[in-house]
Amino acid sequence: MPIEITMPRLSDTMEEGTLVKWRVKAGDEVASGDHLADVETDKATMELQAFDDGKVAKLAVQEGDTVPVGSLILMLAEDGESLEDAAGAASGASAGSSEASSAGSTQAASGGDSGGDSGGVAVADPPATATAAGAAAGASGGDGKRQRVSPVARKIAEEHGVDLSAVTGSGPDGRVIKRDVLAVVEGGGAKASGGATAPSAKPQAAAAPSAPVTPVGLEAKTITLTGMRKTIARRLVESKTTVPHFQVTVSVNMDPLMELRKTLNEQLASQGVKLSVNDFITRATALACVSHPTANSSWAGDTIIQHGTVNVGIAVSLPEERGGGLVVPVIRDAQSKGLRQISEDTKRLAKKARESGLTPEEMGDGTITLSNLGMYGVDQFTAIINPPQAVILAVGGAIQKPVVRDGQIVIGHEMCVTLSGDHRTIDGAQGAEYLGTFKQLLENPAALLI
């Protein structure tokens, strides 16, 4: 009997997913644990793995398509079953098959690579309620409706200078998808004037002839939001408009830590270990929470939850080819981990986040967040709280500058750290006390080795 694989719910808020890239094709043999596809949720791009053995009979959706949770995306033929029969069963299967069928055949796993032509594909808007005829007309620009184009299709059109307003979509609700643009490219038609990006992609440039000439190397364009970008925007607006932020800043003498780090790295070089400044900061963040549990707490409406472990979230920026934005992998039980373990966990999670994607488990259950822009040369900044957490630390660079040490002006390393706190959960004085302990740990870094 054929095995139906449907779009799984890969996060608690996921309602639809974008099939970024297929890793299999019709006729391929797959085994349990094999990488079937890359799926973008509202939080991250993740691997979809097989949970059963079989042969791929039919790929039910195209790369770049966004489909609701529970929709059929792939049909597997069991051992001894013909691909034709299984594919036929796929044609008759309901697109809205239950989520339970997905749970029996697939599971989300860490890793994956959204390479190929995905380029950090964005999740499209939910399907429009217009009729199919109306949607098709909108895709061709005939009635003035906003054209629905998959991110992959838009990228290919930009690369080949295809005028999307002249392309008729064959996807759901008239959406222009990858195969539509490739058909135009192969046919050599629907080119934008001069082979440039379609005029519809540059409405501002066409509508404003009096605007100054765009400098060489710049291009006006509209960027479709990824599901992650939508989630970031929604959560940050929610945080800034509903959470009463306050900020406290402290300056840290980093000279002792820089000397200790240099010594440790020299001693550990033969073992392939290199500790970063951020590893020490992460350790200090966690240990200071042990002394000040109010900083390691969450707002829960009519209660405040003080957590029994410190899970430090570390903001990691994503490259443009993965859609940009940031994710926050979590170092769990950071108060119980030494510098070497923190360093290994941080490097592993950051590499995975930038190259393949993190699972919800690797980003979940954070109790305090650390945002470090010091490596970009930033002296000082403030960060927005990640609800329901009570605190986020904004860490600037360890800048070498003239400072006063023992009444003398000398050259030393100073680092500014700004705590943003949720005033419903933590008071200003408590935030200042936390930063005092945090500062003391970094200025006496031997305590971080214990």
Any idea which residues carry the catalytic annotation? 423
Three-class HEC string of 380-441: CCCCCCCCCECEEEEECCCEEEEEEECCEEEEEEEEEEEEEEECCCCCHHHHHHHHHHHHHH
Q: Which helix (H) or strand (E) holds 38?
A: strand 35-40
8 A C-beta contact, residue 324 and residue 120: yes
Instruction: State the amino acid at position 268 in one-letter form.
Output: L
8 A C-beta contact, residue 450 and residue 267: no
> Using the 8-state DSSP alphabet, how is residue 209 labeled?
T
8 A C-beta contact, residue 390 and residue 427: no
State whether the Cα torsion 336-340-343-345 is positive or negative: negative
Q: How far apart are CA 112 and CA 326, in angstroms?
A: 17
8 A C-beta contact, residue 105 and residue 3: yes
Residue closest to 41 by CA, chosen among 63, 11, 70, 67: 11
Cα separations in angstroms, 400 against 71, 253, 411: 56, 10, 7
Q: How far apart are CA 41 and CA 20, in angstroms?
A: 10
Residue closest to 197 by CA, chosen among 218, 167, 221: 221
Residue closest to 22 by CA, chosen among 53, 54, 58, 51: 58
> Using the 8-state DSSP alphabet, how is residue 214 labeled?
P
